[in-house]
Amino acid sequence: MKGTDVILSLNNGVKIPAMGLGTVAPEDSRAKMVDNVVEAIKIGYRHIDTAWCYGIEDLVGKALQRAFKEGIVKREDMFVTTKVWPTMYDKVEQSLDVSLKSLQLDYVDLFLQHWPLCMKSGEDGYPTEPKDSNGNWLYDEKADYLDTYKTMIDIYQNTNKVRAIGVCNYTVPLMERLLKETSVVPAVNQVELHPQLAQRDLVQFCESHGILMESYSPLGSGGAPVLKLPQAIEIAKKHNVTASEILLSYHVSAGRIVLPRSHNPKRLAQNTIVVELTKEELDALDKVENESPKRYIQCAWSKVIGYSHWTDN
């Protein structure tokens, strides 16, 4: 079965392919980014997850244009996500417009708040990681990250620029506050999610409110460290597949969205293959967090957000 062919529904009825292509791109991979995204579309990826702060939306835009012009896919058959970064917390529509221009699109399918944070920076949002001369992070203590989401609601309800809105990196307490104080339930919550960070409470809370979970860094990001998990390797042997196939199937089998990334055409194709996992296998993978918890994406602001498994080294 191909994960790229599995279609889920957002809480407003918009359809979303369960497997999307992550587009965080290390500097040395950018020269090949356009070809890489076109190749992914040829392989069958119909969902591209990108963001203003990745600095590569123009390359994704070129790839999409090439795919449209070569007749590989039509705009309406692609699902494109972008995000607003904390330094643009009070310039949400401006950020979206920059993304749309770079992507060469009239609308995105999903618009996400990248982090529940507000940071002080330049008018154009740069630097994206602002610090003062003493190295202290420039959080805007007077601003409320929820106002960013409220502006996103306004854009969703009053323009044709986005088909759905959602958030990233929200914990249960942050999501509780959002649900209490705003009028639109986010379509998704995109977080780091894999067996070592299964976050069962968060997943159950979001799913019980009709919020789809999206997994970023499903392999643990650079170097794919989660592939070494003995539990994943054991289940892979049973199914006669690789550990990566099990780690991606872990989400698709459980009705979640997964966003793997690869700059290698062979792995891009391999990553689309998913197998049906049993409830016992899913439960076993969910329990890995109890034995070897690990958050691979460590940001300075993890503490501010109140994350579990956060380290400052």
Where in the sequence numbering do the catalytic residues fall? 54
Nearer CB in complex with ligand A2P: 66/263: 263
Contact 250, 276 (CB under 8 A): no
> What sign results for the dihedral spanned by CA atoms 296, 302, 308, 309?
positive
d(C-alpha 295, C-alpha 35), whole Å: 31
**Beta partners for 2?**
273
Contact 132, 138 (CB under 8 A): yes
Nearer CB in complex with ligand A2P: 128/270: 270
User: Could you tell me the two tokens for 264?
Assistant: 């290698």
- If you search the block for the tokens 């309406």, which residue do you land on? 76
**Beta partners for 257?**
214
Pairing of strands 165-168, 21-22: unpaired
CB of 206 to ligand A2P, least distance (A): 20
- Where do contacts with ligand A2P occur on this chain (CB under 6 A)? 22, 217-224, 227, 244, 260-264, 267, 270-271
Nearer CB in complex with ligand A2P: 22/186: 22
CB of 42 to ligand A2P, least distance (A): 17
CB of 223 to ligand A2P, least distance (A): 6
CB of 252 to ligand A2P, least distance (A): 14
Nearer CB in complex with ligand A2P: 11/221: 221
CB of 293 to ligand A2P, least distance (A): 16
User: Could you tell me the two tokens for 291?
Assistant: 């034995």
Nearer CB in complex with ligand A2P: 223/255: 223
- Max Cα distance, the chain (Å): 55
Residue of 311, 278, 302 lying closest to 115 (CA atoms): 302
Nearer CB in complex with ligand A2P: 222/230: 222
Contact 49, 21 (CB under 8 A): yes
- If you search the block for the tokens 């940001």, which residue do you land on? 299
**Beta partners for 131?**
137
Nearer CB in complex with ligand A2P: 120/267: 267
d(C-alpha 219, C-alpha 37), whole Å: 19
Answer left, alpha or beta for residue 138, where phi above 0 means left and psi between -120 and 50 means alpha.
beta
- If you search the block for the tokens 């968060």, which residue do you land on? 202
d(C-alpha 79, C-alpha 46), whole Å: 6
d(C-alpha 288, C-alpha 185), whole Å: 30
